[in-house]
Amino acid sequence: MTGRPYIVGNWKMNGTRAMLSEARAIDRAAARHPGVDVGIVPPFTLISAMVEAAQDMAVGGQDCHAKPSGAFTGDVSAPLLADTGAVFTIVGHSERRALHGESNAEVQAKANAALEAGLGVILCVGETEAERDSGQAEAVVGAQLDGSLPTGEDAAARLSVAYEPVWAIGTGRVPSVDDVGAMHRAIRAKLSAVYGEAGAAVRVLYGGSVNAGNAAELLAADEVGGALVGGASLTAESFATIISAAAALAEA
Ligand code: PGA
């Protein structure tokens, strides 16, 4: 693992007020491991309540609009997210790219808007199974980064990148530790080419079927600075195990 770990739970379209007790238990796990940065990303509807419940973890959004305000029914802008108490947002998740047709240019505009509003950004990239099978994985991820990395001055300072192979999300399948390390090295090289020295500090998270059983192994891969966790972040029991695995690696 590289640097101070960042473990982020993406609740996707799950989470009612009844799950706030789970969030409080995750917050207590974060408090027990001060060497780990913990983030939690509930649906928009739960952000304010989660911000009130959280003492030791950061609360973020799952997406934001590229414009600060306007006639965009159903959308949420970065300044609105910041107003709820969210301190960062995911952009470019593969479910947004695939199900909402988001292009690299749109994702980049969203990332820039989030930074402009003072939020941190987790930019997601990742190849499909067909792209990996045809040997295109690094080229595809490289092109996603070229097209969607934020461009503003100091962009790297509040940026993390999450490498999430599409075929590993929610499937229980994960790449080999060697493949994770190779992709993370390629991402690091791209970040350094784009941002110079500042690119070295950008945390690169792995995401896709991370769970309590495989987290330690995946987090130990080269250039991995944390994890973006979906399903296994929905219960404090499994998510706390992932947080402690990161803490143990950071202390080792
Ligand atoms: P998963 O989701 O952990 O359920 O595979 C990860 C993600 O989509 O961020």
The response to whether residue 92 sits with its C-beta less than 6 Å from ligand 1 reads: no
Q: Which band of pLDDT confidence, cut at 50, 70 and 90, is reported for residue 3?
A: confident
In degrees and rounded to multiples of 5, residue 10 shows phi and psi of: -105, 105
Q: What pLDDT digit, counting tens, does each position of 84-97 carry? A: 999 999 999 999 99
Q: pLDDT tens digits, residue range 147-178?
A: 999 998 799 999 999 999 999 999 999 999 99
Q: How far apart are the first and last CA of the chain?
A: 10
The per-residue pLDDT for range 34-60, each reduced to its tens digit, is: 999 999 999 999 999 999 999 999 999
Contact 8, 40 (CB under 8 A): yes
Instruction: Tell how far the Cα of 210 is from the centroid of ligand 1, in angstroms.
Output: 7
> For residue 10, what pLDDT is reported?
98
- 105-145 pLDDT, tens digit each: 999 999 999 999 999 999 999 999 999 999 999 999 999 99
Distance CA 238, CA 213 (A): 9
Give me the architecture of the 6-251 domain, per CATH: Alpha-Beta Barrel (3.20)
The predicted model scores a pTM of 0.98
pLDDT band for 252, please (50, 70, 90 cuts).
confident
Average pLDDT score over residue span 189-202: 96
Which amino acid does the sequence have at 201?
A: A
- C-alpha of 136 from chain center: 23
Q: How many CA atoms lie within 13 A of 248 on its CB side?
A: 11
Q: Is 40 in the pocket of ligand 1 (CB under 6 A)?
A: no
Torsion angles phi and psi, residue 76, rounded to 5:
-130, 130
Task: Please state the domain extents for the chain.
Answer: 6-251
Looking at ligand 1, which atom is closest to the CA of residue 208? 5
Q: Which residues are catalytic?
A: 93, 164
25-34: average pLDDT: 98
| Ligand 1 center to 71 CA (angstroms) | 31
Q: What is the pLDDT of residue 78?
A: 98
